[in-house]
Amino acid sequence: MIIGILSQKGGVGKSTISINLAATLASRGKRVLLIDADPQGSAMAWSSAREGDPLFPVIGMAKPTLHKDLPEVARDYDHVIIDGAPRVNDLGRAAIIASDLVVIPVQPSPYDVWAAAETVQLVREAQQFKPNLKAVFVINRKIANTAIGRDVVGALGQFDDVPVLATALTQRVVYAESAGAGLSVAEAAPGSEGAREVERLADEIVGVVS
């Protein structure tokens, strides 16, 4: 299964979700590969910051031929996670075409909802060539017990072909702290609510395509 974490807006937490999803699936005994398809190289930087043994390999493939090159690389893995590039360009399109499931992170902000429309449009275009391609939204950096967190779910309802996952990732310091040390949330704070919500998110994502 190839899962693309993609948005046409930067700073929505694509790398955070990609890394922690990959770590969670690897902890379940799955063979996982993380593809860094963002020229900024955040996932590669996270891997370089890590001092312990790698949880999974991280490969940089920020090129518009990703959809052609990835199948050969991916065949030895159970799950491939693509940390995609922002902006509508050839890199974003290639990552979408390469994916079986596109996960679109959205923060509780009107700017993110507007940007989501561009990503959904790219997915719809790709579905003309790849009808089995699926897409879902995940709310990221949600501020607990606020109206704006609920409002963003309602605003995303306009995209009736792209469901919103029930699991949202809450704004937590542990996500940034763990990333700086080259760790997953589950490693930095095992048993924390952050680790548990990532587990729930992984369960939902796997359930969409299984």
Question: What pLDDT shows up at residue 86?
Answer: 77
Whole-angstrom Cα distance, residue 206 to residue 210?
6
Backbone angles phi, psi at 148, to 5 degrees: -65, -30
Whole-angstrom Cα distance, residue 140 to residue 159?
18
CATH number corresponding to 2-209: 3.40.50.300
What dihedral angle (degrees, nearest 10) is formed by the CA atoms of 180, 34, 99, 88? 40
Residues 109-162: tens digit of each pLDDT: 888 888 888 899 999 999 999 999 999 999 998 876 666 666 888 889 899 999
Place of tokens 């996932």: 43
Answer whether 99's CB lies under 8 Å from 129's CB: no
Domain boundary assignment for the chain: 2-209
Kindly report the number of other CB atoms within 10 A of residue 22's CB atom: 28
pLDDT reading at 9 higher than 90: no
* pTM (two decimals): 0.93
Whole-angstrom Cα distance, residue 141 to residue 17?
11
